């Protein structure tokens, strides 16, 4: 039986090579043999304040990047979350079946709300909306980076809890799909932190649309160590190990081969080669992004995607509302 795949990316700007290597490459590959649904989660993006014009631009940026990296809208559903009202509707039902205690333990909430007495309620409920995204499509597989592991576990807990109460086939219990390499790309300036869209220092990341000179600057200045040995050892050599991982996944070369090739060479040589590997990989993505970003075609893809997503969402909601006894009929 074909499996349903679902995942999403927040339209918060600066989509970077961490997002690409941890998630987007999986999105593309999973299209073979599965039914894929890829969402631009704009309602998640407003859990923190966002200028409306910027949000609209960022939504279309992510949509164009989806297409540019190889998501095929003829095979996969590509749509914007707020175009499908079922996400918010199901999120409410799930909120009534999740606990404040378990949501308080979410590390992303703790990080983003730390010291903020007036953190928005939406930031707290964020993982429940994510659970609704996934469960709304009866998803089997959810390809994501490692930072989403806790949210996927919560989604499974909620699904199992509801199934126990309202019938075992109320929800499909999904599974996260994490890569062995690339699931957690670290910051270039601080390999103890994960690469993030929001870090103040833009040299901490490489965004998919960065030009060649920015890519070069970020890699050549990447933090390493002082022992000069090129070896994959994330614990003791996090900087070099991060660069080797990025190299390995982009070039499709096993880590062990890279270690052999670069044995006895300086970090400068590795970095210079990595600049070429990353630049070569991102150039075609940037080109197809430019072609599609301002096209009518992109808007058509999103409209068609929303219609297809809505059709699935309505069926699931009908089933769930019946189980819960909601509505007049």
Q: Which residues bind ligand TYM (CB under 6 A)?
A: 6-10, 18-19, 22-23, 41, 44, 130, 133-134, 142, 144-145, 147-148, 183-185, 194-195
Q: Checking DSSP bridges between strand 77-80 and strand 175-177, what pairing results, if any? A: unpaired
- Residue tagged active-site, from 3, 50, 112, 214: 112
- Cα Rg for the chain, rounded, in angstroms? 21
- Nearest CA to 22 out of 209, 208, 180 is that of 180
Nearer to ligand TYM, 148 or 207 (CB): 148
Nearer to ligand TYM, 235 or 296 (CB): 235
H/E element, 308:
helix 296-324
| CA distances in angstroms from 120 to 96, 125, 133, listed in the order given | 18, 9, 20
- Residue tagged active-site, from 3, 50, 149, 197: 197
Measured CA angle at 59 (ends 204, 36), to 5 deg:
95
Say how many C-beta atoms besides its own lie within 10 A of residue 32's C-beta. 8
- Nearest CA to 208 out of 234, 226, 238, 185 is that of 185
Catalytic annotation present for 112: yes
Least CB distance from residue 108 to ligand TYM, whole Å?
8
Catalytic annotation present for 197: yes
Nearer to ligand TYM, 175 or 322 (CB): 175
Q: Is 293 helix (H, G, I), strand (E, B) or coil?
A: helix
Beta partners for residue 80, in sequence order: 40
Nearer to ligand TYM, 9 or 292 (CB): 9
Least CB distance from residue 276 to ligand TYM, whole Å?
22
CA atoms of 6 and 215, how far apart (whole Å): 31
Closest CB to ligand TYM: residue number: 22
Least CB distance from residue 174 to ligand TYM, whole Å?
9
Least CB distance from residue 44 to ligand TYM, whole Å?
5
The 10 Å CB-count burial string (b at 16+, else e) for 154-173 is bbbbbbeebbeebeeebbbb
Least CB distance from residue 16 to ligand TYM, whole Å?
7
Least CB distance from residue 246 to ligand TYM, whole Å?
10
Catalytic annotation present for 194: yes
Nearer to ligand TYM, 51 or 325 (CB): 51
**107-111: long-range contacts (C-beta < 8 A, 24 or more apart)?**
107/150, 108/147, 108/150, 108/151
Q: Which residues contact 159 (CB under 8 A, 6 or more apart)?
A: 131, 135, 170, 171, 172, 173, 174
Nearer to ligand TYM, 198 or 265 (CB): 198
Which residues are marked as active site? 112, 194, 197
């Amino acid at each position: 039986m074909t499996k349903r795949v679902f995942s999403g990316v927040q339209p918060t700007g600066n989509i970077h090579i961490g997002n690409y290597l941890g998630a987007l490459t999986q999105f593309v590959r999973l299209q073979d043999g599965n039914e894929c649904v890829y969402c631009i989660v704009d309602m998640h993006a407003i859990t923190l304040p966002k200028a409306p014009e910027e949000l609209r631009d960022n939504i279309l940026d992510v949509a164009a990047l989806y297409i540019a990296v190889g998501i095929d809208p003829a095979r996969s559903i590509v749509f914007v979350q707020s175009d499908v009202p079922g996400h918010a509707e199901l999120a409410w039902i799930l909120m009534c079946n999740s606990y404040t205690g378990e949501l308080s333990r979410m590390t992303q909430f703790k990080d983003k709300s730390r010291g903020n007495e007036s953190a928005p309620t939406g930031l707290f409920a964020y993982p429940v909306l994510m659970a609704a995204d996934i469960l709304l499509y009866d998803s089997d597989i959810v390809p994501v980076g490692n930072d989403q592991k806790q949210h996927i576990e919560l989604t499974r807990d909620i699904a199992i809890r509801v199934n126990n109460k309202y019938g075992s086939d109320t929800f499909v219990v999904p599974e996260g799909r994490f890569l062995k390499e690339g699931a957690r790309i670290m910051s270039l300036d601080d390999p103890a932190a994960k690469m993030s869209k929001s870090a103040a220092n833009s040299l901490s990341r490489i965004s998919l649309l960065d030009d060649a000179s920015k890519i070069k600057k970020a890699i050549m200045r990447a933090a390493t160590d002082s022992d000069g040995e090129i070896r994959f050892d994330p614990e003791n050599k996090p900087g070099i190990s991060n660069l080797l991982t990025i190299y390995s996944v982009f070039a499709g070369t096993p880590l062990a081969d890279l270690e052999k090739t670069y044995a006895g060479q300086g970090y400068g040589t590795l970095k210079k080669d990595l600049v070429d590997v990353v630049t070569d990989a991102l150039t075609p993505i940037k080109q197809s992004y430019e072609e599609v970003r301002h096209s009518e075609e992109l808007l058509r893809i999103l409209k068609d995607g929303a219609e297809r997503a809505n059709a699935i969402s309505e069926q699931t909601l009908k089933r769930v509302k019946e189980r819960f006894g909601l509505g007049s009929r």
